[in-house]
Amino acid sequence: MSIFAELSDSIGEATIRSLDWQKDFTIDGKNAYLKFAMMNSGEYTFDFSNADSIKINAPLIYKFKIIMDEFPTLKILQPKQDIILTENFIIPFKVKIGDDFGFNDLSILYKIKKSYSQSVEESPENYNIQIEEDISDQLIVDSWKINESLSPGDIVQYRFAISDNDNISGPKIIRSKMFIARFPTLSEMFEQSHTQENIIEKNIIKNYEKTKKLTKKIEKLKMQLLKEGEIDWENKSQLEEVLKEQKEVSKKLDDIQKELKEHQQFLEKNKLFEDKILDKYEKLQKIFDELINDELFEMIKKNAEETQSWRQYKYGRNVTRF
């Protein structure tokens, strides 16, 4: 605690006392300074006298209350679980921190377990994360690039640690749970790739078959429209249901296309483009392109647009008549 006092005359003596101790101020003319650690709440009495030993009319009494410094808070929003590293060795993270008086530092403590060794490094390395020391609540969104030489099969054990700026009893530290980032072997990456390809292939085939069924329903409705000049109410309801299903399928196909692109990026990033995988990827892409460019598929989309225009036209006529 720091106390500064200024009097109207040159100071001869300045003290502060409690029930069990007393301290003297440092005097500089009309000014007095004191810095000390206040350990207890309570009443404190201040006495001042000038150079002629004349005291102030009455001692000054102040009550001080010590507010305990709480532990900092640390919440890991990302990653939420162990992760698989790619060759860029980058771990994105999102961390929420809080403290009542401010921070000392935020860091990542990590150890590396080599694939050829059963032991882990004894002393953890430290990666400092830039934060604002005086802002009580912060959301830190950043990434950590591991500047270490890693080989396939190596494991990085890491945790986040936040410390506050308690300079009286020492910084209080909170640590997160331990996370693991693993640099997979080539066989594991191939296995992960094959698993993802099988999922994408099943999704494509499933939606391909579903779209073919929808086109048959649309064709039947169109034939009735050409034959009779109009669609009865029962079939209109069926048409709306089919168009709703078509929109859902269209959205799923867009999602599949995104998955294909992401998977291709994974293959390129990890240099996994062997002939078998490349052939399978091209096959999946070909099936997808055929489905997207299918005439019946285009007919469904066009029919949806025409139906929407027809609704707007009918609605406009009804409003005019009303």
DSSP character string of 128-192: EE---TT-SEEEEEEEEE--S---TT-EEEEEEEEEE---SS---EEE---EEEE---HHHHHHH
C-alpha closest to that of 16 among 29, 28, 38: 38
Rounded Cα distance, 260 and 280, in Å: 12
Rounded Cα distance, 135 and 97, in Å: 10
Angle between helices 186-228 and 275-292 (to 10 degrees): 20
Q: Do you know the residue count of the chain?
A: 322
Rounded Cα distance, 266 and 200, in Å: 14
8 Å CB contact between 22 and 15: yes
Q: Tokens 């500064």, residue?
A: 4
Which pLDDT value is given to residue 318? 40
Q: DSSP label at 20?
A: S
- 246 burial via Cβ count (<10 Å: 0-12, 13-18, 19+): buried
Q: What does pLDDT average to in each consecutive run of 10 residues of the chain (322 residues)? A: 91 92 94 88 93 91 87 95 88 95 94 81 85 92 92 92 88 95 82 77 76 72 65 63 73 76 71 54 60 56 56 44 36
Which pair of structure tokens corresponds to residue 24? 């003297």
Which pLDDT value is given to residue 61? 93
Helix (H, G, I), strand (E, B) or coil at 322: coil
C-alpha closest to that of 277 among 206, 184, 198: 198
Q: Tokens 């779209």, residue?
A: 211
Q: For 34-144, where are the alpha helices, taking DSSP H only?
A: none
Rounded Cα distance, 322 and 314, in Å: 12
Which pLDDT value is given to residue 173? 95
Helix (H, G, I), strand (E, B) or coil at 92: strand
**Which residue ranges form the domains of the chain, and what is each CATH number?**
2-64 (2.60.40), 73-184 (2.60.40), 187-321 (1.20.58)
Which pLDDT value is given to residue 313? 46
Rounded Cα distance, 313 and 188, in Å: 58
Rounded Cα distance, 3 and 35, in Å: 6
Which pLDDT value is given to residue 276? 55
φ, ψ for residue 299, nearest 5 deg: -65, -40
pTM score of the predicted model: 0.53
φ, ψ for residue 4, nearest 5 deg: -125, 135
Which pLDDT value is given to residue 293? 61
